[in-house]
Structure 1
Amino acid sequence: MCSYKKYRQLALGMALALLHGFTQAASYIDVLDLPAKTSALAVRSPLLGVARAGTRLVAVGQRGHILYSDDGGKAWQQAAVPVSADLNAVSFPTAAQGWAVGNDGVVLHTSDGGQTWSKQLDGRQIGALLVNHYGALASAEPANEQWATRVEEGQRLTEEGADKPLLDVWFANEKTGYVVGAFNLILRTDDGGQHWTPFQDRSDNPQSLHLNAIASTGDALYIVGEQGLLLKWNESAQRFVALDSPYQGSFFGVIGKPGEVLVYGLRGHVFRSVDGGASWAALNTGLQVSITAATVDAKGRYLLFSQAGQMLVDAGDSRLTSIPQQNPAPSAGAISTPDGTLVLVGSRGARALDVK
């Protein structure tokens, strides 16, 4: 039997535990409201995306870290960022104007080439965006059942909270751009991010598969996702239409030049199309690990990188040739500078390579 003294000690312990929990709850700050911490180790921390802002390089990564380099990736400085959410991708249509996206539905904007950032949107607002947008359409077209379904989706997102990962971002210019993410989340802006329009109804993605990447080849805009999803923007239809896919596994990226496009993903799969996605030819990588990053170098060659650290170069036919490198590391993003320097970002931070 428990004595009165032991009972009192147990009660006191429970009270202290509850008080500790209340103190922790009171001191909790959402990562969407907590500025990223400045750290000398940020350049060696996990980074997930990199882009050119004119001659500057800007990289984004975990805990809200954003770094910029003005010497081709040799030295980096940390930017002022208002959130600590993990950041997944970054896009600069001009040297000054840029956008970054990440977990918790966060969208950040810079107007000074990546030195300072402000928050334009986060996951706490996205559900309401859907409800308001599709609610207006439902009022205008009450017989159209898809609008009611979209409203319900927005209500669900609102109830679930801020956890709505945005996985990629692409801007055509200072005004028009897209962010894409999990469960077919697509938002478009035509005023530089001041307002965002849901585009879920404008994609051929009935299963609401995750959208992993969006990119332009110069003459077409593509989205790739899980389960072989391939989408292409159709200007006349004003929607992303589905393309026949050569592979049923996930694609992690898309890259190209006018007249051709490459998509890459799971288990070393890479495909090329030279007819706007109407047909695809497989490129032999010789790998069974996923391709996770790609860039076009100063010579116009495609360079692709695997999650195991291998580097491949497009040989101009159906082959991808492996390029040996010292201390290979997994790559999540890649960019080539005009002078031929290759900058990779990944789990070990940022590093610059001289590739011949």
Structure 2
Amino acid sequence: MHFVRKSTCLALVLAIFAAFPAQAEFKGVLDTPATQTHLAAQRPLNAVAAAGARLVAVGLRGHIVYSDDHGNSWEQAAVPVSSDLTAVFFSSERSGWAVGHDGVVLHSDDAGQSWQLQLDGHRADTLIKDYYGKKARQGDAQAAALLPDIELYFSSGADKPFLDLWFANDEVGFVVGAFNMILRTDNGGKSWTPWFDRIDNPLRLHLYSIRGQGEQVYIAGELGLVAVLDRDTQYFQAIPVPYTGSFFGVLPVASGAVVHGMRGNAFRFDENGANWQKLDTGVLGGLTGAAMLDRNRLALVSTAGDILIGKLSSGRFENLTATRGMLFAGVAFVPATKSLALVGNNGAAVVPLIEQ
């Protein structure tokens, strides 16, 4: 889904120790702003979204870039951390959030030009443990049962990633991530409430994607997990699915949603998950991004470099030719130019759509 590269260089480590005094304090990614580089739009990017007419993309090492000319050129934003970022979402033209590794939640109120840190893994660790610890002391049996899993989850450190987010408006939203991590805010991210106990996920599967439309909110995740928010109980109820592979994304469509994931698998289902239709993508690459083009057409992209345009009415797709080959991680529709903004391991690219 995203392209995190790890490497070790002994010479570099020795040079760092030689250049700084022994008492110098080591700064981690949460204390180190993203490095400014004119190559940021050519480095690995994991997600792209629209902020009004602006495009905003996020990627490795805290890189966030934005474009005001429909993806033809990009500027790098100021970001206070250098954690790898996995997803971005704008609830309005100016207000948006990005999430990533190390429990990072960033907020922008200027359409993605600058960002502020709202949450990190250390604060999330304390918040979650305190929340369920208090409930357990008050006699909540479910909270008491969750605490061992939460302790185990954070025992190796506060480095767990958020993998996606969705906001209904500038105040109400969710972030989701590895091992069932889900938090909700009602005040634009100023404070967060853990929702570990409000989702039907006893195996603590990873939550890869969350999206909503109107009063319908969907989560897609590991091992075929699909959950729908019950409006009355405010609980994400898992629904039966015809596939047990992981779903990397969920996209609301008319009267339901589309989920997409491993080995080219994509399905459309109705609001309650009672009826499912397998979409004929014709590819085997993992489907990592999706965008609606109109009420009937959508685009899908894959880690094998596929760009698919299909119709919900027929469930069939055609493959577009990429102007810049890469392992795609995300896609956004650009209505002004009738094109697709694409991101992946080689940065950002734009592909014009063929009129159908």
Same fold (TM over 0.5): yes
Q: How big is each residue's C-alpha offset from its partner over 1:15-49, in whole Å with a ceiling of 9 and x where there is no partner? A: x99x8699578453110010001001001000001
Change (3 A) 1:149 1:254: same
Q: Does 1:266 align with 2:277?
A: no
Distance in 1 (CA, whole Å) between partners of 2:172 and 2:318 is 37
Q: Does 1:163 align with 2:159?
A: yes
Q: Could you tell which deviates more after superposition, 292-301 or 31-40?
A: 292-301
Distance in 2 (CA, whole Å) between partners of 1:134 and 1:354 is 49
2:145 to 146, 149, 154: 149
Change (3 A) 1:300 1:66: farther
Q: Which amino acid aligns with 1:353?
A: V
Paired-residue identity, %: 46
**Structure 2 contact 107–117 (Cα < 8 Å) conserved:** yes
**Structure 2 residue aligned with 1:44:** 42
Distance in 2 (CA, whole Å) between partners of 1:229 and 1:220 is 17
The alignment partner of 1:89 has SS state of strand
Q: Could you tell which deviates more after superposition, 55-64 or 288-297?
A: 288-297
**Structure 1 residue aligned with 2:206:** 210
Alignment of 1:66-85 (within 5 A): 66-85=64-83
Q: Does 1:223 align with 2:219?
A: yes
The alignment partner of 1:129 has SS state of helix
Alignment of 1:1-356 (within 5 A): 26-141=24-139, 144-297=140-293, 300-315=296-311, 316-339=313-336, 340-356=338-354
Q: Which amino acid aligns with 2:138?
A: A
Change (3 A) 1:290 1:130: same
Matched residue count = 338
The alignment partner of 2:29 has SS state of coil
Distance in 1 (CA, whole Å) between partners of 2:353 and 2:263 is 25
**Structure 1 contact 301–314 (Cα < 8 Å) conserved:** yes
The alignment partner of 2:31 has SS state of coil
Q: Displacement of 1:322 after TM fit?
A: 2.2
Change (3 A) 1:188 1:82: same
Q: Could you tell which deviates more after superposition, 59-68 or 288-297?
A: 288-297
Q: Which amino acid aligns with 1:77?
A: E
Change (3 A) 1:23 1:226: farther
Q: How big is each residue's C-alpha offset from its partner over 1:109-152, in whole Å with a ceiling of 9 and x where there is no partner? A: 111111111101000111211121112211222xx432123333
The alignment partner of 1:332 has SS state of strand
Distance in 1 (CA, whole Å) between partners of 2:183 and 2:22 is 35
Of Structure 1 and Structure 2, which has the larger fraction of its residues in helix?
1
**Structure 1 contact 127–157 (Cα < 8 Å) conserved:** no
Q: How big is each residue's C-alpha offset from its partner over 1:172-208, in whole Å with a ceiling of 9 and x where there is no partner? A: 1111100000000000000111111100000000000
Runs (5+) with no aligned partner, structure 1: 1-15
**Structure 1 contact 298–338 (Cα < 8 Å) conserved:** no
Q: Which amino acid aligns with 2:162?
A: L
Give TM-score, length-normalised by structure 1.
0.90
Distance in 2 (CA, whole Å) between partners of 1:203 and 1:56 is 34
Q: Displacement of 1:317 after TM fit?
A: 1.0
Q: Which amino acid aligns with 2:248?
A: F
Q: Could you tell which deviates more after superposition, 175-184 or 310-319?
A: 310-319
Change (3 A) 1:27 1:237: same
Q: How big is each residue's C-alpha offset from its partner over 1:58-83, in whole Å with a ceiling of 9 and x where there is no partner? A: 11000000111111111111110000
Runs (5+) with no aligned partner, structure 2: 1-13
Q: Which amino acid aligns with 1:203?
A: I
Distance in 2 (CA, whole Å) between partners of 1:263 and 1:31 is 33
Note the aligned Cα RMSD (angstroms): 2.1
Change (3 A) 1:185 1:299: closer
**Structure 1 contact 298–336 (Cα < 8 Å) conserved:** no
Distance in 1 (CA, whole Å) between partners of 2:90 and 2:114 is 14
**Structure 2 residue aligned with 1:4:** none
The alignment partner of 1:32 has SS state of helix
The alignment partner of 1:255 has SS state of strand
Q: Which has the larger radius of gyration?
A: 1
Distance in 2 (CA, whole Å) between partners of 1:219 and 1:190 is 15
Distance in 1 (CA, whole Å) between partners of 2:119 and 2:88 is 15
Distance in 1 (CA, whole Å) between partners of 2:74 and 2:121 is 29
Distance in 1 (CA, whole Å) between partners of 2:23 and 2:228 is 45
Change (3 A) 1:253 1:164: same
